[in-house]
Amino acid sequence: MLTNNKNVLKWVDEMVALTKPDQVVWIDGSEEQLNDLRAQAEASGEMLKLNQEKLPGCYLHRTAVNDVARVEGRTFICSRKEEDAGPTNNWMDPKEAYAKLGEIFEGSMKGRTMYVIPYCMGPIGSPFSKVGVEVTDSIYVVLNMDIMTRMGKAAFDQLGDESNDFVRGLHSKAELDDQKRYICHFPEDNTIWSVNSGYGGNVLLGKKCFALRIASYQGKQEGWMAEHMLILGLENPQGDVKYIAAAFPSACGKTNLAMLIPPEFYSKQGYKVWTVGDDIAWMRIGDDGRLWAINPENGFFGVAPGTNVKSNPNALESTKKGTIFTNVVHDLDNNTVWWEGLDKNPPKNALNWKGEKWDCEAGEKGAHPNSRFTAPAENCPCISSEFSNPQGVPISAIVFGGRRAKTAPLVYQSYDWEHGVFVGSIMASETTAAAAGAVGVVRRDPMAMLPFCGYHMGDYFQHWLEMGRKLGDKAPKIFNVNWFRTDDEGHFIWPGFGDNMRVLMWILDRCEGKADAVETPIGYEPKAEDINIEGLDIDLGTVKGLLEVDKDLWKEDAAGITEFYAKFGDKLPKELKDQLAALKERLDK
């Protein structure tokens, strides 16, 4: 037994009584225990050990064919009152959820081992950090949680013997029946139940389930923020580092920005970029009145396809050791892995993500489009020296972004915090061919939190407004970026990738009062000449075009915002209604 905490012991006993495992193993996080589990997973075929010379400590895993992604339609917020879940979440009455899932969980671990995983979200010893306990019948989950969290006895030490402040996570693969697959969150009970899935996003309960859905609710109750944001540090040649938190919906280059490589023009001068986090930020107000952030995670759960030496060399480097690959191609000749977009040399003798013989010439993709790597953050060449700092890092700027072909300019700054909350609340992306359904449809995703907010989004906006009031003049400045403006042929105009740093430089200059701005109907914009384009094959005229605000397009957008806001009824803060009215007024002038 790793803990004397009666709250933990009582809850684990209840879960054992419900699921009836043959044995219970407490995970202490020791290398000896983990190696034993890796060997078991290899023996059962759950994990394949890869070429240990080329990929030391790396394994390949395949999920069930019906179990390859997060299932938003089967994900529920089980708040006691339906209105507390809000119009953007699926709601189930907690009594009904416990009963319905209880029946599925009943005896689900017979003939199996239950693993009890204590884990800490955030650095051990940090006042920001929170403890969770996940019980599971999956070794894959244990080994992933080891990479993604601070797992093991140290987490129980952080919790202490008396505290009841831990998130209870129950997971069973059960039968992997997709008709009985549920991911249920009980915010008032600090509880998550996930059944009939083995896919990371549904079963690594520390990730989106705890670190966003439950933590966003905790943050509202306790006066802090859990956000779907990367955290990066930008170091100037004098050695000063300023930190930015940024939120983007999926497929908008979030991980690439988090691990940005400065363009040669900047790196020669001595500029550097440091990664604190690629996905989630927990932020609270420090003793100095500023907003401070930690990354609650300890690893990266990245999408493999498209990750390559050009798009994200640091992410690729992170996967070279101690990594679990899920649903990628198995190169049988080298016992390594491959995926679409890695390079132009697909293996000739290979198995696809389903484990079937795969012919790269036949036109079918070998890796699943949502195939993943789970890699330790410490592997990342640009990981920040502040990554495990228990105090976190101070945030100078908050950046929102989406994928808009014509509407949003390259960058603009909000007038103030309240207007910045408005800018975040109207965040949107246009669907690409990659997403199901029609192309070019505007999808609103406020603060990139639409699938991850654990309570009513109207209350969430209110919480943002209140945080701003507490921060006062120490609040970070808020910006919006759009790397995805296209010309009439549909080609991207801005080069993107490392060159996005040129925009971040203007953002930080604005935070420090070093750069001018032009007032527009939507916010403050740079003067075109203040975006450094040295070494790029675009001219000042192109930058002016990228910054252009088309009033007609924005009027169309304002109509879309009005429709979106209607969802939130009387829970929509008055401040945001007023901001929308003010935008319409400025566009009419």
Q: How many angstroms separate the first and last alpha carbons of the chain?
A: 69
Instruction: Give 188's DSSP letter.
Output: G
Helix, strand, or coil (residue 158): helix
Helix, strand, or coil (residue 246): strand
Residue 34: both structure tokens together:
């983990």
CA gap 571, 425 in Å, rounded: 14
Contact 557, 407 (CB under 8 A): yes
Contact 376, 322 (CB under 8 A): yes
Nearest to 245 by CA among 88, 400, 103, 382: 400
Residue 3: both structure tokens together:
């803990």
Tell me the β-bridge partners of 191: 168, 186
Contact 347, 360 (CB under 8 A): yes
Contact 273, 499 (CB under 8 A): no
CA gap 58, 38 in Å, rounded: 10
Q: Alpha helix locations (H) across 208-252?
A: 215-222
CA separation, residue 278 to residues 203, 248, 464 (Å): 19, 11, 21
Contact 167, 214 (CB under 8 A): yes
Contact 135, 114 (CB under 8 A): yes
**Pairing state of beta strands 130-136 and 291-294?**
unpaired
CA gap 174, 108 in Å, rounded: 5
Instruction: Give 60's DSSP letter.
Output: E
CA gap 377, 286 in Å, rounded: 25
Residue 292: both structure tokens together:
């401070």
Helix, strand, or coil (residue 214): helix
For 493, counting Cβ atoms within 10 Å of its Cβ (0-12 exposed, 13-18 middle, 19+ buried), the class is middle
Annotated catalytic residue within 120, 184, 252, 511: 252
Nearest to 275 by CA among 290, 250, 297, 249: 297
252 has catalytic annotation: yes
**Pairing state of beta strands 150-151 and 130-136?**
unpaired
Contact 294, 282 (CB under 8 A): yes
Q: Which residues are catalytic?
A: 252
